[in-house]
Chains A and B, each alone.
Chain A
Amino acid sequence: MNKEVNTDIVRPKQIPRRAFAAIAGEKLIELIIRLSGVSAIIFVLAIFFFVFREALPIFFSDHFDLFKFLFNTQWYPTSAVNVRYGTFALTVGSISITFLAMLIAVPFGLGSAIYISEFCGPKQKESLKIIIELLAAIPSVVWGFIGLTVMSRMIISITGAPVGVNLLNGGIILALMSVPIIVSISEDALKAVPDSYREAALALGATRWQIVYRVLLPAAKNGLLAAVLLGVGRAVGETMAVLMATGHAVQIPHGLLDSVRTLTANIAAELGEASVGSDHYHVLFLTGVLLFLLTFAVNLTADFVIRGIRRK
């Protein structure tokens, strides 16, 4: 059966060299991709640098005291006789409204992600995802407007509070704004859980709900945590909607129906009025730095938590 194969026909050829233009083009594209990758770092550093540069002169002002800035609740930046730059109430405002928003948004967001990824049919899944993306596309000023009018009136008529723009209102609006992010990221996280895990549990006789809480939640916890933290980031940074929906009163809230002011809303509302180069102007930029550090701290803890989980 062995056939003689004539190997003379196949002559080794030299591998041709690639054209210079092709190599150069490749290198160029590589450079562009590398630059866009590094650009994120450059932008973050640049933003921090410029904001901090605008804030720096306040440290040399007579009216400024860093401890008071952080822990005093008195915010009277334009007082003629006694200027006070205490941002503690604003920080508490930001934190409390974020906390409230997450208290509402996390159960709803995770619940709807679980429903979309595990329980509903393919058609319903598509339409739900489109609608949730639509929810994410609503501009924040429109949310603020809803808070100012619809929600405010509802809160007054249900709770009997004197003002409808308060912590509760802002918290609900912020929750509605963060839910789409939480849903889409956690849905991705659930989708990334290998189907073989579901099959394993199913073959052992698990019900759908048992699969969710015994298999999917432990398997996807990193992604779910990331989703929640992105929601937190969204809530801390949101400006327009909270400016309109929270009542804008500088005070430490004692209940859900108290008005609050957040760091972000404060900057947005006052920066236009502060004359460039004044103490007020500089202190607002320092508030920006504070906000920056706050979100940075949230992200960093998130990172550590996720890494801690991964190590286990």
Chain B
Amino acid sequence: MQSESMQLCIQTRNLNLWYGQFQALKDVNIDVRHGLITSLIGPSGCGKTTLLRCFNRINERFSYVRTKGEIKVLGKNIYDPDVSLIELRKSVGMVFQRPNPVPISVYENIVFGLRIHNRFGVFQKNQLDEIVEKSLIEVGLWKDLKDRLKVKATSLQLEQQQKLCIARLLPLKPEVILMDEPCSALDVEGTRAIEDLMYNLRGHYTIVIVTHNMAQARRTSDECIFMLLGEKIEHDRTENLFLNPRDPRTAEYIEGRYG
């Protein structure tokens, strides 16, 4: 039992969330295992993005969001009063649906996290250079961008922008990377590149990915969670969920009867 819970990276218990009067999550209990890729699937409006946005508490920037329940990230309830949002977001990185690099240079985008988390620290130029190089190599952008580090990040191709958005998380050494439909703005090649990248990052980080694309969930993830109307329906190893769904609603969804 002890070793079982050690492997868990994110746990939610009776998680409820309301947007104003509308209840978007209903008593969600999930356990995300450490170091694996877990996908969240379900039809539009089922709460998968909402759930993902709970894990770094970025939902709370809107004042009409109310949350009840418990979320443990690495054993620590992130709704405890002594939790620092800044530290939480440092260890739980997020990649968004549309690539959203900040409109500054590629270089500055990558060291952005370091700069904001080390407000008064002085960085050595070569130290930063090294970090930038390492991060770009890790996401496979170094070859393309090593001569264009001063270029404005928003002028890159979408695929490169999305990789950059992943690369800028890495200097902060996050435990978890949350991905909210990271390929929906990309073409086939871009999607393939991001999926390869996810595969390479697998094991080093716990990755939770929301996707509309069932085939993508099947290709990329180790475990899969199916959600419907704000509830968790089924959580299993991906191949089990797709081959032997236990719940009839899951079966109908993956057969494409609705969604």
Contacts and interface: CB of A to CB of B under 8 A. Distances in A.
Interface string B85-102: 111111001101010111
B168 interface: yes
Interface in B107-138: 112-113, 115-117
Interface in A171-226: 194, 196-197, 199-207, 210, 214-215, 218-219
Contact of A204 (B61, B98, B104, B116): B116
B112 A214 contact: yes
A203 B89 contact: yes
Interface in B63-111: 63, 85-90, 93-94, 96, 98, 100-104
A18 B94 CA distance: 54
B96 A196 contact: yes
A203 B58 contact: yes
A218 B116 CA distance: 15
Interface string B31-63: 000000000000000000000000010100101
A204 B58 contact: no
Contacts, number: 66
Contact of B93 (A121, A194, A204): A204
A214 B116 contact: yes
B112 A201 contact: yes
Contacts of B165: 200
Nearest to B117: A205
B89 A196 contact: no
A269 to B, nearest CB: 48
Contacts of B90: 204-205
A219 B112 CA distance: 15
A203 B116 contact: no
B96 A202 contact: no
Nearest to B112: A204
A121, A200, A210 interface centre (most CB from chain B within 10 Å): A200
Interface residues of B, number: 29
Contacts of B85: 205
A209 B93 CA distance: 20
Nearest to A215: B102
A312 B89 CA distance: 31
Given A205-B117, A214-B115, A200 B96 contact: yes
A196 B116 contact: no
Contacts of B94: 203
Given A204-B116, A205-B87, A197 B100 contact: yes
Contacts of A197: 100, 102-103
- Contact size range, A: 10 to 19
Nearest to B168: A204
A203 B101 CA distance: 12
A101 B124 CA distance: 40
A182 to B, nearest CB: 22
A312 B104 CA distance: 10
B169 interface: yes
Given A196-B96, A218-B104, A202 B116 contact: no
Contacts of A202: 58, 61, 89
Contacts of A312: 152
Contacts of B251: none
A77 B102 CA distance: 58
Contacts of A210: 116
Given A203-B94, A204-B168, A206-B116, A214 B102 contact: yes
A206 B116 CA distance: 6
B172 A204 contact: yes
A214 B168 CA distance: 15
B100 A205 contact: no
- Most chain B Cβ neighbours within 10 Å, of A202, A204, A207, A210: A204
B46 to A, nearest CB: 21
Interface of B: 56, 58, 61, 63, 85-90, 93-94, 96, 98, 100-104, 112-113, 115-117, 152, 165, 168-169, 172
Given A194-B100, A204-B168, A204-B172, 6 more contacts: A196-B100, A199-B61, A201-B112, A203-B93, A204-B112, A210-B116
Closest 4 CB pairs of A and B: A205-B89, A196-B100, A203-B94, A200-B100
20 contacts: A196-B96, A197-B100, A199-B58, A199-B61, A200-B102, A201-B116, A202-B61, A202-B89, A203-B96, A204-B93, A204-B112, A204-B116, A205-B86, A207-B116, A210-B116, A214-B102, A214-B104, A218-B102, A218-B103, A312-B152
